[in-house]
Structure 1
């Protein structure tokens, strides 16, 4: 499955993928007149544009920026992306956490003040991003009330509800906003299925993108196999609309013979 065309044959197939993607890339930014943003948090992933956007948001709000991420499943891909763009010297990449790599990019490449950077370098999954970030902020005496979250767009919704749960369980009041940076979308161009032309460069391989979005829907479910209260209890209840479930089943049937995608699906 080296290209989307290998499995996505019709416009209906593409529409189904796009519907799932838009649902996962929760866009819930502050409206005019909202309280000032106190903090921006970026959860580690391999898409450089998400971290760059987080820097821009923190600069605009004149607030601290947290990069959360240890060494996990996205770290190798992140390092490859930075190397491909020749953005940092090799010593800034070897055996470094995702937070350290993004921190170096922010201060050395994107002009973010180093004194306003907070690096959480231990987390290896979404739940730890939230829990470890909350613990670190408490240690530092940071009491943000209004927070914007940035993450890989395919994981934006789950990250949003995970952070809400972590703050609630810590008896901390905060208003979270969700910024997916962009909404992934496929299109047919000259007979080839590809990412929409307006999206940034450095995106996932087709295999990784499809495996990510297909892995998210089962995780969001509130059943015995999902991450909701009736399952593993990692997140609060999330309503997955019937339309999205139908789209998921449509794409799942298409991909059922592709091992790299099937292995990401919980049920």
Structure 2
């Protein structure tokens, strides 16, 4: 595999997988934002298993006042079920559990922890946020500062979606993992092991699907397109990397599944 292809994948990965903190520790929050704790930390069910481990770490570090897991059923659910089944009792009916319930069961069985609230209806990034905000409003949860943990491929879009619906909160991003790829024997592979990580072809598809969605033009999800997101500035080097990867992986861009579109 060409060095430029590896570099282009890593460019998209770094762009989409936004992290605003060096680590999920209170000292980092204090240093960067001047707060001892965030009001809320949210894990989104689109994440791979590594997101559950981060949530456990955050709870142990007392990073937030309230912890919420958001996720019903979507394009990532089947993969999550297969991964989490490896860590749960065979008697647990994982095929009937939402993403939020799956992660909460994983937290309980692996760490003896659980979230304060679960949102189990959402099916996509848009209603991940609208249903989250409905839950926050219903439960009167303060959210002047909120940490978002999502799959790294979708982290930047989750940030932009939240900012479309809430322009007042301090949003702190912490992508569930940081993945880089390398080439060995003309094959792509990850530079390090990540818990529950996507097959590499799937990850490339997820990454490449994000760039046209993040675009703020007539075909994208920004204000000048479908208006699902706040404006995102896509750097030229990211656009160039995407266009180059399209030549290498012409069928890799993930198309939105209408089965998971918002019902409201």
- Shorter-normalised TM range: 0.7 to 0.9
Q: CA deviation at 1:247?
A: 0.6
Following the alignment from structure 1 to structure 2, what is the Cα–Cα distance between the partners of residues 25 and 46? 11
Instruction: Please provide the CA RMSD for this pair.
Output: 1.8
Q: CA deviation at 1:202?
A: 2.0
Structure 1 match to 2:230: 236
Correspondence list, 1:50-69, <5 A = 50-60=51-61, 61=63, 63-69=65-71
Structure 1 match to 2:190: 195
Native 8 Å contact 1:39 1:65 kept in 2 = yes
Structure 2: gaps spanning 5 or more residues: 22-28, 257-264
- In structure 2, the CA distance between the partners of 1:94 and 1:23, relative to structure 1 (3 Å rule), is same
- In structure 2, the CA distance between the partners of 1:89 and 1:64, relative to structure 1 (3 Å rule), is farther
Following the alignment from structure 2 to structure 1, what is the Cα–Cα distance between the partners of residues 169 and 129? 13
The C-alpha deviation readout for 1:82-138, integer Å capped at 9, x for no partner, is 12x2334442413111011111112232222x4x52100000000101100010111
Structure 1 match to 2:4: 12
TM-score by structure 2 length? 0.87
Following the alignment from structure 1 to structure 2, what is the Cα–Cα distance between the partners of residues 150 and 88? 26
Structure 2 match to 1:4: none
The C-alpha deviation readout for 1:181-207, integer Å capped at 9, x for no partner, is 32211012455420112x413211122
Displacement over 4 Å in runs of 4+: none
- In structure 2, the CA distance between the partners of 1:182 and 1:202, relative to structure 1 (3 Å rule), is same
Q: What secondary structure is seen at the aligned counterpart in 1 of 2:202?
A: helix
Native 8 Å contact 1:211 1:264 kept in 2 = no
Q: CA deviation at 1:46?
A: 4.8
Native 8 Å contact 2:47 2:176 kept in 1 = no
Following the alignment from structure 2 to structure 1, what is the Cα–Cα distance between the partners of residues 64 and 174? 17
Structure 1: gaps spanning 5 or more residues: 1-8
Structure 1 match to 2:26: none
- In structure 2, the CA distance between the partners of 1:147 and 1:16, relative to structure 1 (3 Å rule), is same
The C-alpha deviation readout for 1:18-52, integer Å capped at 9, x for no partner, is 01110000111246162121211011125101122
Say yes or no: does 1:28 pair with 2:29.
Answer: no
Structure 2 match to 1:97: 98
Native 8 Å contact 2:146 2:172 kept in 1 = yes
The range that moved more, 30-39 or 129-138, is 30-39
Counterpart of 1:175 (choices 151, 170, 173) is: 170
- In structure 2, the CA distance between the partners of 1:262 and 1:24, relative to structure 1 (3 Å rule), is closer
Structure 2 match to 1:74: 76
Structure 1 match to 2:147: 148
TM-score by structure 1 length? 0.86
